[in-house]
Amino acid sequence: MSVTTLKESLPRARSLVPRDHLGSRAKVALGIGFVGVLILAALFFPLPHSPTATNPEALLESPSRDHWFGTNSVGTDVFSRTIKAAETDLPLALAGTLAALIIGVPLGIWLASSPRWGERWMRFLDAFQALPLLILILALVALSNNQLWMIIVAVAIYAGPVYIRLVRSQVLSLREARFIEAARASGAGPYRLMRYHLLPNVRGVILAQTSLVAAGALLGITALSFLGIGVQPPTASWGSMIALDSSALVEGHWWPVIGPGIAIFLCIVAFNLVADGLREIGEDPPR
Amino acid sequence: MLPVSLLAIITASFFLFAALPGDIPHAMLGQIATPEAIARLKERLGLDQSVFERFYHYIGDLSHGSLGESYYTGHSVLGEIGSRLPSTLELVIPGLVLAFVLGVGLGAVGGYYDRRAPDKATRGMLTVAQSVPDFLLALILILVFFSTLHWLPGPEGQLSFADTPPPHVTGMYVVDALLAGDFSLAASAARHLVLPVITLGIVYSAAFGRTTRALMGGALNSEFTRFGRACGLSERRLIWNAVVAARTSLLTYAAVLAAGIIGADAIIEIIFAWNGVGQWAVQAMLRQDLPAVEGYVVIVSAITVVIYLLLDLVSSLLDPRIRFDVSHDS
């Protein structure tokens, strides 16, 4: 192949990369945008009805122009309550994920950098993994009288080890890389190595994982409140809304359950979309 | 290793639960209980002792094979769990099998048709399965197959109200009814199983499917597959070889999920009014029934540890490269 044909083929090959990236970035933006708009709507949007008021004269009304998602078995407007619940469920999931991130990432880095402690801690984590974690979390939140901060602690306990493992394995495999060796040879200390050489390279993987953890945390929190553990009525939460009207659904009144159900589903899809996009960007970094 | 990790779990969970700020006497007697009544209750339940004394007694009882008595019913915790465990297994084992078949099937199709239409379709199905909360899926299935179509029984437990349970042999109603020769009762029990098992199967197939997709994708793009194809092996043979190459990873994943599913099926049991251990344990948690919750954690952890042990044994049988070295197993 002559030099000129190679040069001619280059721009075409490169133009494909940014277009793919546009798709990945759009996924990330769409996912974050959806969750963000939902939280902002819960906080500031003027809801058509009160999300907590009950109305014995409008029980289980099917969706109409006045009640977009109908009313539930105590007469509350399902649409307003579904939106309002985003204000509790989503920040709890995000706060739990953040707590796991803050605890897990430094621990993972530390365990990767000290082999002696690393091995012992990983053994401990193995034993920890054998615990029925979901049950433990249920019990933790239920036996602490349903305090909300306990939910955040529970998510951190659940997801912290995920980060520790991920970061440790990533850092361990990167440590042997040439550029790390070069940086060390040119006199970079441990902080500099971490800050400028290791962290930027594991950032993409961590972010993609974060989005998946957030999805898992949201599923867990809705499952908790579905069981009557965690967020308690009258505070709106998707899980407890579904629990309240699950018997109405069996009789054919589907709308009080479908509203919060769709909200959970779309949020999980949004988080997965963000994770997908971040992973694609990470796999194929722009040059 | 086995007893050590089990003991660690028991100790950790015991002190964790004891340290939580739950107010058991008030939860049991109500907020307006007199101080004398509370003192009497505390004495009866042994709550007047220190945590360490209680732990000492608990371990002592455990060494005699007792998990203590429930605060509320006074029945032996071990007996309560033992009578409900078969119902849970009857639900969980078919659920896990369905999840495995569905997940491995979908994942293998995706891996084989890498980035083509069937891959995208199966990936979409798995994403939906992953994004639907299990309780929502259960309710939608009830809405469709019971409330609307009337094909299957609704959430009324293992049997219809008109059915009488079969004589107790294994505790699993389908098996017991078959053993008793009552086929209509067995059919009724099997029909009650369909919706909860499908729910568990679909929800857990997402995890299997994603893993299989990644493993099969790797195996089918490997040198040995290309070599096999060059040698003229049939496509079916190549797919089978890829499954064989992925077997230990798949088995590991199955074991991890099997360990998780026993704890996670509580929600499904509650929705379908299934009288299993999960549903019983959640009730115990809501009532702050410490011995029951602790007993549940102990039993589920023990099952988990046994599953992981079996995993080690079976994978060393399946894959001779994995050596099951007892001295190193820590």
Distance from CA of A191 to the nearest CA of B (A): 34
Q: How confident is the model at residue A13 (pLDDT cuts 50, 70, 90)?
A: very low
> Residue A174: what pLDDT?
82
**Residue B288 near residue B24 (C-beta atoms within 8 A):** yes
* Burial category of B30 from C-beta neighbours within 10 Å (exposed 0-12, middle 13-18, buried 19 and up): exposed
More confident residue, A261 or B260: A261
- Give yes or no for residue A54 having a pLDDT over 80: no
Q: Do A130 and B134 touch (CB under 8 A)?
A: no
The sign one gets for the Cα dihedral B299, B301, B305, B311 is positive
Instruction: For residue B286, list chain A residues with Cβ-Cβ distance below 8 A.
Output: 142, 227-229
Q: Do A223 and B146 touch (CB under 8 A)?
A: no
Q: What percent of chain B has pLDDT over 70?
A: 96
More confident residue, A48 or A7: A48
Report which residue type is found at B70: S
Q: Which among A131, A219, A269 is the nearest to B9, CB-wise? A: A131
Which of B:244-303 have CB within 8 Å of A?
259-260, 262-264, 266-267, 270-271, 281-282, 285-286, 288, 290, 293, 296-297, 300-301
Q: Do B136 and A257 touch (CB under 8 A)?
A: yes
**Predicted complex ipTM:** 0.78
Question: A256: cis peptide before it, omega within 30°?
Answer: no
B152 touches chain A (CB under 8 A): no
| Best residue in A250, A265, A283 for a mutation probing chain B (most B CBs within 10 Å) | A250
Instruction: For residue B300, list chain A residues with Cβ-Cβ distance below 8 A.
Output: 132, 135
Q: Do A250 and B22 touch (CB under 8 A)?
A: no
Question: What average pLDDT does the segment A213-230 reach?
Answer: 89
Q: How far apart are CA A141 and CA A180, in angstroms?
A: 43
Q: Which among A250, A265, A268 is the nearest to B154, CB-wise? A: A250
Beta bridge partners of A71: A77
**Taking all residues of chain A, what is their mean pLDDT, rounded to a whole number?**
81
- Give yes or no for residue A3 having a pLDDT over 50: no
Distance from CA of A248 to the nearest CA of B (A): 10
Give phi and psi for B276, each to the nearest 5. Answer: -110, -175
B71 touches chain A (CB under 8 A): no
Q: Do B288 and A123 touch (CB under 8 A)?
A: no
**Residue A266 near residue A30 (C-beta atoms within 8 A):** no
> Residue A270: what pLDDT?
92
A108-122, A204-218, B70-84, B126-140 — which is least confidently predicted?
A108-122
User: Which of B98, B103, B72, B90 shows the shortest CA–CA distance to B292?
Assistant: B72
Q: Which among B23, B142, B304 is the nearest to A130, CB-wise? A: B304
Q: How far apart are CA B231 and CA A173, in angstroms?
A: 36
B31 touches chain A (CB under 8 A): no
> Residue B176: what pLDDT?
86
User: Which of A257, A263, A265 shows the shortest CA–CA distance to A63?
Assistant: A257
Give phi and psi for A71, each to the nearest 5. Answer: -120, 160
Q: How confident is the model at residue A34 (pLDDT cuts 50, 70, 90)?
A: very high
Q: How far apart are CA B46 and CA B60, in angstroms?
A: 14
**CB-based contacts of A112, cutoff 8 Å, min separation 6:** A118, A167, A168, A171, A172, A175
Q: Do A229 and B286 touch (CB under 8 A)?
A: yes
**Taking all residues of chain B, what is their mean pLDDT, rounded to a whole number?**
83
Q: How far apart are CA A284 and CA A17, in angstroms?
A: 8
B76 touches chain A (CB under 8 A): no
B131 touches chain A (CB under 8 A): yes
Q: Do A130 and B9 touch (CB under 8 A)?
A: yes
pLDDT per residue over B184-210, tens digit each? 888 888 899 999 999 999 998 988 888
Predicted structure pTM score: 0.82
> Residue A6: what pLDDT?
47
Q: Which among A143, A249, A252 is the nearest to B20, CB-wise? A: A143
Question: What average pLDDT does the segment A21-30 reach?
Answer: 82
Ramachandran quadrant class, A187 (left: phi over 0; alpha: psi -120 to 50; beta: rest): left
